[in-house]
Amino acid sequence: MVSALGMTAALGGCGSTGSSDVTLRLVAADYGDSAANSSKKYWDALAKDYESQHPDVKVEVSVYSWNDVDRKVKEMVDAGDAPDMAQIGAYADYAAAGKLYPVSDLLSIRTQADFLSQLSDAGAWKHTQYGVPFAASTRVLFYNRTLFTKAGITPPTTWDDLAADAEALKAKGVKYPYALPLGPEEAQAETMQWLLSGGNGGSGYTDDIGTYTIDSAANVSTFTWLRDELVGKDLTGPVAPGKLNRAAAFAAFADGDVGMLNGHPTLIQQATRKGVKFGMVPMPGRTGTARASMGVTDWMMGFRQHGHAAQIGDFLDFVYSEKNVLEFSRTYGLLPVTSSASNAMSGSDTGVDQALHPFLEQLPTSELYPVGKTSWAAVSAAVKQNIGQAVVPGGSPSGILSRLQATATAADSSSSS
């Protein structure tokens, strides 16, 4: 999200099958934060269920932390022994290298038609879908109800409201009136949410046809506002935004030290565990609710190397059944990527489902990173390292965004040559 939450690493068991059987190897990311809720438990149960119905297919699952899983898959591919399937953070490089099956070669038409369209569209490289969305999240504005009550304020709906609320929180001694994590952990996420809320044609990192527009006038205006109206007025807390990471901002919110910040679904559990009373509203825009929320999805893909297209497709049809998608989404507090599971969650007012409704409402109109561009990894890395400089007092938003635009243009040209 960067990708969601995985923390622990676990290896699936191995087994041999008869010569007439097929063994499918899946490498998956861990969304759990301890051995007790490792994704290994989910995949082991799902594989066992599938194998009971398909005795000629063995599914071996290896689960790794998000710190390791992309590298593990790359090592396997580079060694000439790709897994049959991988559930990781990006697909475009493998699609560009001709290593993946098109989704239409794998999934049934019914399964393909069930995906939320903007997520399927984001899985396309050169107009062919290779990435299958796996789990999704969006961002909303979290606010501390207790601190807001003490300051006598209500949740903001515009940037002016947000700045005024931050001033009121600062006056009450709140440590981080608005937490602005532009540090290297996940600055590309906070950046994109602000770009999408900028109005005046603010379009995130790219325009409607996929051309990078990082240094657009609207985006420069957005970061100038952040520099002057939040950071310059000391409304973002004691840590410079360029040094504040998302995990630290979330931890500070859970400790009751943050008035407002952009958050994804995992913050619900983190804040609830610490007893913080919070509310959630759509991200404010310049003159009203932001045009769109930022959406994030991770990816499933099928590798060509060992064949098995029919078996991979049949297994993935099973993975993406409404029952299995809902179970995963509820276990890890993430959003379903299929219409059937989304509708089921929207129609439920209990437990995890109800808590996820604010995020679910944003998903149909959310905008994702330009993940179909093989240049995105390099651009994302450059944003993480540099965007914090755009909001330092006396800094140059136009200068920083122009440098990032040059990096993006060069990476785009190199990846398409």
For 78-91, the pLDDT digits (tens) are 999 999 999 998 89
User: Using an 8 Å Cβ cutoff, are 220 and 401 in contact?
Assistant: yes
d(CA 349, CA 352): 9
Among residues 361, 389, 404, the one where a domain terminates is: 361
Please report the pLDDT score of residue 324 as a whole number.
97
Please report the pLDDT score of residue 351 as a whole number.
82
Q: Are residues 62 and 205 in the same domain?
A: no
Q: What is the tens place of the pLDDT at every residue in 188-201?
A: 999 999 999 986 55
Please report the pLDDT score of residue 9 as a whole number.
33
Q: Are residues 101 and 117 in the same domain?
A: yes
Residue 319 structure tokens:
């993975």
Over the chain, what is the mean pLDDT?
Answer: 91
> How many domains in the chain?
2
Q: Are residues 394 and 351 in the same domain?
A: no
DSSP result, 116-173: -HHHHHHTEETTEE-PEEEEEEE-EEEEEHHHHHHHT----SBHHHHHHHHHHHHHTT
d(CA 355, CA 130): 32
Q: What is the tens place of the pLDDT at every residue in 152-189?
A: 999 999 999 999 999 999 999 999 999 999 999 889 99
Query: What is the DSSP-derived secondary structure letter of residue 229?
Result: I
Residue 138 pLDDT more than 90?
Answer: yes
Average pLDDT in the 387-412 region?
96
Q: Which residue has the higher pLDDT, 401 or 36?
A: 401
Residue 13 pLDDT more than 50?
Answer: no
Q: Are residues 250 and 302 in the same domain?
A: no
pLDDT confidence bin for 413, thresholds 50/70/90: confident
Q: What is the tens place of the pLDDT at every residue in 280-306?
A: 999 999 988 787 889 999 999 999 999
Question: What is the identity of the amino acid at 382?
Answer: A
Q: Are residues 160 and 266 in the same domain?
A: yes
d(CA 14, CA 330): 28
Judge whether 336 lies within some domain.
yes
Q: Which residue has the higher pLDDT, 174 or 12?
A: 174
Judge whether 119 lies within some domain.
yes
Interior/surface letters 362-391, b for 16+ CB within 10 angstroms, e for the rest: bbeebbbbbbbbbbbbbbbebbbebbbbbb
User: Using an 8 Å Cβ cutoff, are 124 and 318 in contact?
Assistant: no
d(CA 324, CA 240): 42
Q: Are residues 148 and 262 in the same domain?
A: yes
Q: Could you list the residue range(s) of the whole structural domain that residue 229 is in?
A: 140-292+375-416
Which regions of 37-79 does DSSP assign to beta strands (E)?
57-64
31-40, 153-162, 215-224, 228-237: range with lowest mean pLDDT: 31-40
Residue 3 pLDDT more than 50?
Answer: no
Judge whether 252 lies within some domain.
yes
Residue 46 pLDDT more than 90?
Answer: yes
Q: Are residues 161 and 286 in the same domain?
A: yes
State how far the alpha carbon of 5 is from the alpha carbons of 72, 234, 289, 318, in Å: 17, 30, 28, 24
Q: How many CB atoms lie within 10 A of CB 319?
A: 23
Residue 253 parent element (H or E): helix 246-254
Residue the block writes with tokens 């996820």: 356
Q: How many CB atoms lie within 10 A of CB 336?
A: 28
Average pLDDT in the 130-159 region?
96
Q: Are residues 168 and 226 in the same domain?
A: yes
Among residues 336, 361, 386, the one where a domain terminates is: 361
CATH number at residue 283: 3.40.190.10
Judge whether 273 lies within some domain.
yes
Four-point Cα dihedral 218, 220, 222, 225, nearest 10 = -130
Please report the pLDDT score of residue 43 as a whole number.
97
Average pLDDT in the 92-113 region?
96
Residue 341 pLDDT more than 70?
Answer: yes
- Which contacts qualify for 66-72: CB closer than 8 Å, 24 or more apart? 66/2, 66/3, 66/4, 66/5, 66/6, 66/7, 66/29, 66/30, 67/6, 68/9, 69/6, 69/27, 69/28, 69/29, 69/30, 72/27
Question: What is the number of helices (H) and of strands (E) in the chain?
Answer: 17, 12
Q: What is the tens place of the pLDDT at every residue in 231-246?
A: 999 999 999 999 999 9
Q: Reduce the DSSP state of residue 178 to 3 states and report it.
A: strand
d(CA 393, CA 260): 21
Average pLDDT in the 192-220 region?
87
Judge whether 233 lies within some domain.
yes
Please report the pLDDT score of residue 10 as a whole number.
35
d(CA 1, CA 16): 35
Q: Are residues 260 and 315 in the same domain?
A: no
Q: Are residues 133 and 149 in the same domain?
A: no
Judge whether 5 lies within some domain.
no
Dihedral sign (CA 380, 382, 386, 390): negative
Q: Residue 178: name the closest of 284, 22, 288 by CA.
A: 284
Residue 416 pLDDT more than 90?
Answer: no
Residue 317 structure tokens:
């049809």
Judge whether 114 lies within some domain.
yes
Q: Are residues 161 and 254 in the same domain?
A: yes
Average pLDDT in the 99-123 region?
95
Judge whether 11 lies within some domain.
no
Please report the pLDDT score of residue 202 as a whole number.
58
Please report the pLDDT score of residue 377 as a whole number.
86
Which regions of 199-283 does DSSP assign to beta strands (E)?
258-263, 278-281
Q: What is the tens place of the pLDDT at every residue in 245-288?
A: 999 999 999 999 999 999 999 899 889 999 999 999 999 999 88
Size of the chain in residues: 417
Q: Residue 168: name the closest of 149, 190, 153, 157 by CA.
A: 153
Please report the pLDDT score of residue 267 as a whole number.
92
Q: Are residues 99 and 218 in the same domain?
A: no
**Helix, strand, coil shares, percent, the chain, to 5:** 45, 15, 35
36-45, 288-297, 329-338: range with lowest mean pLDDT: 288-297
Average pLDDT in the 327-332 region?
93
d(CA 73, CA 241): 33
How much of the chain exceeds pLDDT 90, in percent? 78
